[in-house]
Structure 1
């Protein structure tokens, strides 16, 4: 019998008991149900505690696995950075293997700000509280051969694995 069923029965019996409180048989039955309800409540709390303990164990495992994943990702990045540095030092642009082709690919140009006060105002968006540098316009001007003071356009290479 489920807890809610016992609860319904208990309420019905309480109603009956309030109509005829001197009925001994009814009182004995009520005492028996009371014991069953206490037992059901106790067992329900045991289930709750068990589920809470499982949730805590899973949460601890999540934290452990997150730390392990981060360490593995960091190791992979260090090895990748090392491979990139070796290829740059040895001036290798591309290495073809049986399974992978590793190359140093030229990234799109990017703006490196050297001195913000030397950059002409036309390269800033000004209706904002803090003027924002329009880097795309600077790149376009650089590609057109214009020299813009206060910035340097850099084009780096990065490792690509295919």
Structure 2
């Protein structure tokens, strides 16, 4: 007999097929063999799922660590932003537009002009880009198809089987 879960499942299936065609096996032999293979298969699948849960735990840990590092990055960026503002404030308080040091040249640049929209509705049409987004309502389409209504351009497709473990 094989030792991998898939091989055990195949052996179990072969044995069930053999039972349908063979008259030489006693009910006790059949029960013992099926029980043995089933027990090994159960153990393999349980162990495989322990490993799956471990991998899912590691994935969750990575996700939490990524969030923690993103928060830390944001903190560093905010500190840098505040310190840049502090350096600018020092230049302006000293009445300097530019200061050269052996390492850096600090310049208090003039502000950049930017447009502020007070009310979009008052803008002329030629100065507004219109974007139209259309998205199918899949829930409504599914309900219509399931109730027997023909919906051109859509159909229901059954996905592949999936594993549920409780």
Tell me if both proteins adopt one fold, taking TM over 0.5 as the criterion: yes
Q: Does 1:42 align with 2:46?
A: yes
1:149 corresponds to: none
Query: Gaps (5+ residues) in structure 1?
Result: 117-123, 133-162
Deviations 1:57-80 (A, max 9, x none): 112212221221111111111111
**1:127 alignment counterpart:** 125
Count matched residues.
Answer: 122
Provide the alpha-carbon RMSD of the alignment: 2.7
| Aligned equivalent of 1:8, options 5, 10, 17 | 10
Corresponding position of 1:51 = 55
> What corresponds to 2:78 in structure 1?
74
2:96 to 92, 96, 116: 92
Distance 1:10 1:84 in 2: 76
The alpha-carbon deviation at position 110 of structure 1 amounts to 4.0
The Cα offsets for residues 95-129 of structure 1, whole Å up to 9 and x where unpaired, read as 2223322211224434578xx7xxxxxxx75127x
Write out per-residue CA displacement over residues 18-64 of structure 1, whole angstroms, 9 at most, x where no aligned residue.
Answer: 22366144543322211110111111110111011111111221222
TM-score, with structure 1 as normaliser: 0.63
Q: Measure the CA separation in 1 of the matches of 2:23 and 2:71.
A: 64
CA change 1:90–1:65 in 2 (3 A) is same
Residue 109 (structure 2) pairs with residue 105 (structure 1): yes
| Aligned mates of 1:21, 1:47 — CA distance in 2 | 41
Deviation at 1:4, TM superposition (A): 1.4
Give the number of the structure whose residues are more often strand, by fraction.
1
Give the alignment's TM-score, normalised by structure 2.
0.62
Distance in 2 separating the partners of 1:84 and 1:21: 94
Larger Rg: 1
Higher relative contact order, chain-length normalized (CA < 8 Å, sep 6+):
1
Equivalent residues of 1:17, 1:27 under 8 A apart: no
Distance 2:108 2:80 in 1: 17
Q: Helix, strand or coil: the match of 2:9?
A: helix
